[in-house]
Amino acid sequence: MAMSLRPRALRTLTLGLAAVASLTLAPKPASAEQFINVVTGGTSGVYYPLGVALTKLYVDAIPGVRTSVQATKASAENLNLLQRGRAELAFTLGDALADAWNGNEEAGFAQKLDKLRGVAAIYSNYVHFVARADSGIKTLADLKGKRVSVGAPKSGTELNARALLSANGIQYSDFSKVEYLPYAESAQLIQNNQIDATLLSSGLGVAAIRELASSTPVVIVPISEAEIKKIGQPVYQVGVIPAGTYGGQTTDVTTVTINNYLVTHSGVPDEVVYQMTKSMYSHLDALIAAHSAAKAIDPKKALDGMPLPVHPGAAKYYKEVGLMK
């Protein structure tokens, strides 16, 4: 015979079951905490200090955010990390970004990285062709038979070096020694007379070259407009490293420039990317304090040459300030 429940006990049981049901069936609230990992480049380059500065801005601008900065081999590695959801923001060169979006296997992208979304064009990289003053290197052609570092494997620097050299009839096999090293390590080998030259793709005022020039006689070798045009890609433009940018540099030096971009992925919430974009442009002074290359960051140029779709969160900001329809 079933046991009957008293009215009070029945009411208590009913309320309890209802509470359990509401907890079970109600949608779980989204986590208030947002993690932003910013992937950059070597610590002696421009990406890293700017990445640190951005994370400080995000902590103030985005409620509940946690941030980190990761030093990497730069462009190709950064974009692959984004595609795998291992980062929320990446620095990259424009040529590497176009290769990633198109799935260029030779550039390190076995398939199209379809989750990538653009945030902003920021500043131009300048190819710094740096040689020991006693090496006798005055042109690209003089690199044949020399000891050369071309940048970390598949980095933006290395991709730029490969494009520039091959367009001008120079292969890595033409060097007596080839090294694949980041900025600081390349500069150290020049200082130790273990290599003759390096090509570094970076914003103006890169620390590794400033420090090298203060201790070792070096020259910033010009790359001519004709040599740049041979590359045959519009992403490569003619630019000038102004006189006095580095110790001992007494004249302007013509070279190759390539746009840098900030990129995210489609899984990052729109509001987060909106705040990331807005906080950057609202506090450019903090980025300039971190590195002088940030002086070139201009919201009016944010969409210049963007080779992939803009993230909706970034687009919201650009529409808000009248830069997108």
pLDDT higher than threshold 50 for residue 19 = no
Could you please report the per-residue DSSP string of 33-46?
Answer: -EEEEEE---TTSS
Residue-wise pLDDT tens digits, 185-209: 999 999 999 999 999 998 888 889 9
Domain boundaries, given as residue ranges, for the chain: 34-123+259-320, 125-258
pLDDT top residue among 97 and 32: 97
- What is the band of 32 on the pLDDT scale with cuts at 50, 70, 90? low
Longest dimension (CA), the chain: 105
* Residues facing 132 on adjacent strands: 218
Quick one: what percent of the chain has pLDDT higher than 70? 90
Could you please report the per-residue DSSP string of 164-211?
Answer: HHHHTT--GGGSSEEE---HHHHHHHHHTTS-SEEEEEE-TT-HHHHH
Angstrom CA distances, 46 to 33, 117, 259, stand at 29, 22, 13
Give me the CATH code for the 125-258 domain, please.
3.40.190.10
Give the length of the chain: 325
Quick one: what percent of the chain has pLDDT higher than 90? 79
Could you please report the per-residue DSSP string of 266-302?
Answer: TTS-HHHHHHHHHHHHHTHHHHHHH-GGGGG--GGGT
Q: Find out if CATH 3.40.190.10 is the number for domain 34-123+259-320.
A: yes
Q: Look at the block and give the residue holding tokens 């409620």.
A: 63
3-state secondary structure of 137: coil
Region 77-98 average pLDDT: 96
State the Cα–Cα distance between residues 325 and 322, nearest whole angstrom. Answer: 7
Enumerate residues 6+ apart whose C-beta is below 8 A from 271: 313
pTM for the whole structure: 0.77
- What is the band of 131 on the pLDDT scale with cuts at 50, 70, 90? very high
Residue-wise pLDDT tens digits, 247-259: 999 999 999 999 9
Region 296-305 average pLDDT: 94
pLDDT higher than threshold 60 for residue 21 = no
pLDDT higher than threshold 60 for residue 20 = no
Residue-wise pLDDT tens digits, 262-297: 999 999 999 999 999 999 999 999 999 999 999 999
pLDDT higher than threshold 70 for residue 52 = yes
> Do the strands 116-132 and 218-220 form a parallel or antiparallel pair, or are they unpaired?
antiparallel
3-state secondary structure of 128: strand
> Would you say 152 and 181 are in contact if contact means Cβ atoms under 8 Å apart?
yes
* Domain pair 34-123+259-320 / 125-258, same fold: yes
pLDDT at 47: 95
Token output for 76: 């190709």
Q: Look at the block and give the residue holding tokens 């309320």.
A: 15
pLDDT top residue among 6 and 219: 219
Question: The dihedral of CA 189, 196, 44, 171: what is its sign?
Answer: negative
